[in-house]
Amino acid sequence: MLQISQIVTEKERVIEGLKKRNFPNVEQVLDQAIALDEKRKSSQQSLDSNLAEANALAKEIGGLMKAGKREEAEAIKSKTAELKSASKELAEAKDQVEKELLALLYTIPNVPHPSVPSGNTDEDNEVVKTVGEAPKLHAGAVPHWDLIKQYDIIDFDLGIKITGAGFPVYKGKGARLQRSLVNFFLDEAVAAGFSEVQPPIMVNEASGYATGQLPDKEGQMYHVGNENLYLIPTAEVPITNLYRDVIVSEDQLPIKHTGFTPCFRREAGSWGAHVRGLNRLHQFDKVEIVQVCKAEDSYKALDDMCNHVASLLEKLGLQYRILRLCGGDIGFTSALTFDFEVYSAAQEKWLEVSSVSNFETFQANRLKLRYKDENKKIQLLHTLNGSALALPRIIAAILENNQTPDGINIPEVLVPYTGFDKI
């Protein structure tokens, strides 16, 4: 959530950035926020003035009673009661304005970093770098949705029977490959200095608002109605919320966590050939990395996290490219996002496998996640997160790119985890 002080003092920069996002009626929305803030401050001043006058009068009453000036004391009591009644009305009005301002601020996305390119869709994203070469497959190579049937390692029909579309069942060496990737990703993250946590996979409404999934992505999350809980779309949500309403010590920074969880997304939209098989699921496994750090350190942290994701893809032997997301495609909460895509040789297309983002103070302001600087001044921190990595499309690329006429070769780095080198 943007700070109202940021909107007031940096209004032109905020307008320019939100226009890059194609945010509608930006000037009107910001003017409305500023007007509500002025009304809030005016209400607060009136309330403070009333309370101060009531307190001053209350102190006079005792002296007047001692001096035998009962009538004057009773008159002041009556005036104090009027002020208290007026103060109650002012407090209620102030609370209402604050709620209106907060509701409006929740609808305003983050201001993109200056390096974010303009654009409307994913076609306008900027390719930053491409690494590796596309594998040359043998004649008769097939996409992963045929391979998983041929080798009986992932079963979509069973998933439909048990739950519905988008909930596959991993079997035999398919299940072992999945578990091996999770362990490999976690081990690599821990080696890179991330502390492992195992968070809940359901969160309450406050957690959803704190990291920006609510109210923006409410329709994309599975809701458990009776308890008013949400199945997580990513481990970013519970891990970042570990620090909601916390003032951390400066010597704790940077905070680096990794966690493995299943993730759940309703993924509203069309289903067709471009999202067949593992390309889009309602439930999938993912290892996440999260950082909390000072503002001056956050873009170096973003680079480090991108390098970490790149190292995983290189160790798996996958061709990949890095995209800088444009204003029209970047997430609601993000200031700057880099997407990683791997090349699927059998499908002849790029598959997104990771997003690494810097949210600057946007999440921290919602979280009330702060620290005391060397001058003992309270400052908001920066939060970052990245997929390291999401498994379904990684598995799809491994299966497709490593297929041979007599089986699927397992990347060498995974063999100690799988216990086999071929499916």
Determine whether the annotation assigns residue 265 to a binding site.
yes
Determine whether the annotation assigns residue 355 to a binding site.
yes
Determine whether the annotation assigns residue 118 to a binding site.
no
Q: What is the 3-state secondary structure (H, E, C) of the chain?
A: CCCHHHHHHCHHHHHHHHHHCCCCCHHHHHHHHHHHHHHHHHHHHHHHHHHHHHHHHHHHHHHHHHCCCHHHHHHHHHHHHHHHHHHHHHHHHHHHHHHHHHHHHCCCCCCCCCCCCCCCCHHHCEEEEEECCCCCCCCCCCCHHHHHHHCCCEEHHHHHHHCCCCCCEECHHHHHHHHHHHHHHHHHHHHCCCEECCCCCEEEHHHHHHHCCCCCCHHHCCEECCCCEEECCCCHHHHHHHHCCCEECHHHCCEEEEEEEEEECCCCCCCCHHHCHHHCCCEEEEEEEEEEECHHHHHHHHHHHHHHHHHHHHHCCCCEEEEECCCCCCCCCCCEEEEEEEEECCCCEEEEEEEEEECCCHHHHHHCCEEECCCCCEEECEEEEEEEEEHHHHHHHHHHHCEECCEEECCHHHHHHHCCCEC
Residues of each annotated binding site = 234, 265-267, 288, 352-355, 385
Annotated binding site for ATP: 265-267, 352-355
Binding residue positions for L-serine? 234, 265, 288, 385
